[in-house]
Amino acid sequence: MGNTLINVYARNGDLVSAHNVFDEMPDRNSVTWACLVSGYTQNEMPRDAFATFGRMLSAGFIPNHYALGSALRACQRLGAEGLKHGMQIHGLVSKTRYASDVVVCNVLISMYNGCISGPTGTDYAWRVFDGIANKNSISWNSIISVYSQRGDADSAFGLFSDMQKEGVGFSFRPTEYTFGSLIAAASETRKADSGSLLLKQLLAKIEVSGLVEDLYVGSALVSGFARFGAIDIAKSIFEQMGARNAVSTNGLMVGLVKLKQGEEAAEVFLGTRNLIRLNTDSYVLLLSAFGEFSCPEEGKRKGKEVHGYLTRTGVNDSSISVGNSLINMYAKCGSIEDASSVFNSMPAKDSVSWSSMISGLDQNEYFEDALLIFYRMKKTGLVPSNFTLISSLSSCSSLGWMKVGEQIHSEAIKLGLDSDVSVSNTLLSLYADTGCISECRKVFSFMHDHDQVSWNSVVRAFSDDSEASIIEAANYFVEMMRAGWSPNNITLTNILAAAASLSHVEFAQQIHALVLKHRLTCDNTVNNSLLTCYGKCGELNDCERIFSRMAERDDVSWNAMISGYIHGEQLVKAMELVWLMLRNGQRLDCFTFATVLSACASVATLEHGMEVHACATRACLVSDVVIGSALVDMYAKCGRIEYASRFFELMPLRNVYSWNSMISGYARHGDGHKALEIFAQMKLKNQPPDHVTFVGVLSACSHVGLVNQGFDHFESMSRIYGLTPRIEHFSCMADLLGRSGEFEKLEDFISKMPMKPNALIWRTVLGACGRSKSNGRLMNLGERAAKMIMELEPQNAVNYVLLANMYASGEKWDLVAEARRAMKAAMARKETGCSWVTMKDGIHVFVSGDKSHVDKDLIYEKLSELSGKMKALGYVPETRYALYDVEVENKEEVLSYHSERLAVAFVLTRELESEMPIRIMKNLRVCVDCHSVFKYVSEIVGRRIVLRDSNRFHHFAGGKCSCNDYW
């Protein structure tokens, strides 16, 4: 009777009454003691259970298997702390007849699994299981559960197979506990494909056993399938279940949220809230569902409603997990102020609270605030988790704060979190984004494990413009595939960027083959990368083929195709594509407009540029600073500096590119003083100049011969602005000194350069020597420059032409002939000089001595007429620039038919009464004689002539040029 009372009181949780009955019993036996030990264990009082078990042994009672089982369960509940007692009890068991008792051994399996983490606990549990002579279904379920909890699906399913083999004749049928463990093991499988396959095989067996409707099994299946994204199967099981609870509902919601189907997850919650008793986790999941709504504003609105309900019921104040979910929900909905308000009002915070706030700030681009919260968290004494470090490092990466990133990296090493693959991946991105390639290499080499993100990150890190690093990216890519990883769309996008940087078409074709192999031809990101890569490689036929086959094209697709045409110098096709976009009703973005305007600027196609300007105006995008800067650049390069200036003045916002375009524009048009005036305004507006700014400023000084001012600006780069002069700035200074005839200073300047002069510098020196009256010293300097250039660029025809020019200016005809022979021997081909004008009926191109034009007779007649009028005004041909050792009359004839003269004569035959400026483009530098001719022609016809050569713009009017003969 006493034993029964103890059992009854213990089951009802009344341990005081149970103990009173025990104390009053005059006769106790092993069962009496077992009842009391079991009572303490069942009521989560493991230490009292140990104490009672010890008293039982001291009293001389031999514990039965119930007492032993209860004491071992008490050890299990204490975890690692109970291991010592558990091993002592195991030692005691081994000396009794219960050493092979199946009940006691089953509890020992669970005890070792609960008290020892890792493989050691599994080994101990396996030894106990292996020693059971007559295993029952509980033994098999226990050992399967051990391997399942360790995430070892292979072993768990292997044991399940053995259980079925040994159970033949013993009815070892799998129970709901067996299936629960196996479902958990399959759900923890890293590879989604194999995990999903295991679950489907299990589902077939469970359906045969009739346990699909079981609450425990059904809930586990719903969670497992939802975890792997098999939502349809999860829903089907959810609907078949005879009863549902919070676990099954939460499991389905987890899967839907993971697939970003927030609206559907919220519907599941609403559909079950009146049928089952939902727990706090259900509200946590509901809040996370709002963060995955397709419309963030709608998610925030519903989230606020639930927030109000939780506040009224007091759940918000009592649950840290709910507070953390509110922070996450508001952050994902873009309402970082509400997230901060929740965070600041939380009475208690854990490490997840801080991590959620840091992550939210990082996601919403409040990078500095995220790092400030990180340092506040450290002051509280809380240890940052891997998620905290990931978000903090991400903010460092976005800000480019490499030093702060290194400090957090040190923190990760101290905490042992640098071995976490996600933390290492974020470190890879940080060092890649801040250009620390060697650190990137070190982080990757120290990683114990690499996942897909690791390989993608390291390939991206090395996919820049340096040939050596791009080759390294390719090597990592090959190593990744050898390691058994299949490239995904991100991998292929990164490696295609590397191929594009190298313009390596064979490499691009090999990657394209992998795209086909892995069936990623429907992926827009990959197709866009292929378009960009083939475009940069000049393979426009491949671009057109890919573009035509794309089922869906986004803005990036169109821009990539347009950029490809522009790169391949097919501006007409690029413009046709722009018009096609407009006809299709597609909105052009800022990048498209800027790209096309840049192309118009590069070939000086004013009409096309103005058309694009009109389109941008209709699209209400001209106020965008990127498009504005591109328009300023386009008008300046197309000869309409007045349009560029007017638009520049109207820009509501300017950046460094806007100022640079205007400064360079004025410099290119020969108005150096105006360029320097704009530079002065730039400084007054507190816009810091960059390296490109000073190229424009120094060019302006060069074009107007401001030597001292040029040196002042050159020195101010490092002294005032902390900019180290680059080779292009030294080239501008060499040009400035050469044009102004300061050859002694030029030689001294070059000798003191901190880097070796490149071909551009020596070419500048040689050009300057050719433009001056060559004496012996200048000839020596020019020959020295020519020798250096030939070593650096032996196949560049321009170098030989400049040398021949220098010899011709000094009438050294034998040396001119020698220079031409050297050019022929080097197989260097000189670019054919040509000029072109744009008329209503299209573009007309001319070469020197051209007689292929349909209006050739009228053109040559006009040239003859102009020649007579020029000579009457005092024109004398500069025959030394004819570059041929022939009679003077023949030299005059050669000069008379230069391409720019044919172009101006052609315009004058077409536009007899017009007073509009004549605009001519030339691909080479205009010669001195043609420059002189254009001054006379502008006076004779009374029209302004704008000539753009390879160096600059010349504005001729009234017999004068804007460059003041200084170019």
Q: pLDDT tens digits for 122-162?
A: 888 888 888 887 888 888 888 888 888 877 888 888 888 88
d(CA 577, CA 583): 10
Query: What is the SS3 assignment for 767?
Result: helix
The answer to whether residue 470 sits within a structural domain is: yes
Residues 843 and 951 placed together within one structural domain of the fold: yes
pLDDT score of 886: 37
Query: Where a domain ends, among 790, 808, 830?
Result: 830
Question: Does residue 465 form part of some domain?
Answer: yes
Instruction: Say yes or no: 722 and 784 in one domain.
Output: no
Output the pTM of the full model: 0.58
Adjacent-strand bridge partners of 835? 846, 922
* CATH number for 750: 1.25.40
Q: Tell me the CA distances in angstroms from 374 to 369, 473, 558, one per residue in order.
A: 9, 33, 42
What pLDDT shows up at residue 892?
45
Given 628, 653, 678, the domain boundary residue is 653
If DSSP codes are grouped into helix, strand and coil, which group holds residue 163? helix
CA dist 846 → 38, 65, 181, 542, 777 (Å)? 106, 108, 84, 33, 38
Residues 813 and 906 in one domain: no
Same domain for 842 and 914: yes
Quote the crossing angle between the two packed helices 386-399 and 402-415, to the nearest 10°.
170
Q: Is residue 724 part of a domain?
A: yes
> Does one domain contain both 877 and 930?
yes
d(CA 2, CA 6): 6
- Give SS3 for 350: coil
Interstrand relation of 918-922 and 842-847 (parallel, antiparallel or unpaired): unpaired
Taking the C-alpha atoms of residue 765 and residue 785, their distance in angstroms, rounded to an integer, is 7
Q: Are residues 512 and 558 in the same domain?
A: no
Listed residues 99, 121, 143: the one ending a domain: 99
DSSP 829: P
913, part of any domain: yes
- Helices 524-536 and 540-549 pack at an angle, to 10 degrees, of 160
Q: Are strands 945-948 and 918-922 parallel, antiparallel or unpaired?
A: parallel
Helices (H) and strands (E) in the chain, counts: 53, 6
Total domain count, the chain: 6
> Are residue 543 and residue 564 in the same domain, yes or no?
no
357, 373 in Cβ contact below 8 A?
yes
The string over 491-530, giving b where at least 16 C-beta atoms fall within 10 Å of a residue's C-beta and e elsewhere, is bbbbbbbbbbbbebbebbeebbebbeebebeebeebbbbb
Residue 160 forms part of a structural domain = no
Q: Check whether residue 746 and residue 788 sit in a common domain.
A: no
Q: At what angle do helices 215-227 and 231-240 cross, to 10 degrees?
A: 170
In this prediction, residue 465 carries a pLDDT of: 57
Tell me which residues of the chain have a pLDDT lower than 70. Answer: 1-15, 18-21, 23-24, 167-172, 190-193, 242-247, 273-278, 315-318, 464-466, 582, 585, 587-588, 602-605, 772-777, 826-831, 878-896, 966-967
CB atoms within 10 A of CB 363: 18
| Residues 685 and 626 grouped into a single domain | no
pLDDT of residue 167: 60
Give the closest residue to 36 by CA, choosing from 381, 193, 27, 45. Answer: 45
Q: Find out whether 534 and 543 touch, Cβ atoms under 8 Å.
A: yes
Output DSSP code: residue 136: -
Same domain, 747 and 862: no
Q: CA 631 to CA 956: how far, in whole Å?
A: 24
pLDDT value of residue 37? 75
pLDDT for residue 890: 38
In a domain, 92, yes or no: yes
What is residue 960's three-state secondary structure?
strand
Listed in sequence order, the residues at least 6 apart from 494 whose beta carbon sits closer than 8 Å to its beta carbon are: 456, 459, 460, 463, 473
Contacts of 693 (CB under 8 A, 6+ apart): 656, 659, 660, 663, 679, 682
The length of the chain is: 967
Largest CA distance in the chain: 146
Tell me which amino acid residue 601 is. A
* 426 found inside a domain: no
In a domain, 475, yes or no: yes
What is the enclosing helix (H) or strand (E) of 452?
A: helix 452-461
Distance CA 599, CA 569 (A): 8
Structural domain range at position 691: 654-755
* Identity of residue 616: A
- Pair 541, 572 in one domain: no
Residues 658 and 742 in one domain: yes
Distance of CA 739 to the CA centre of its chain: 45
Separation between Cα atoms, residue 570 and residue 566, nearest integer Å: 6
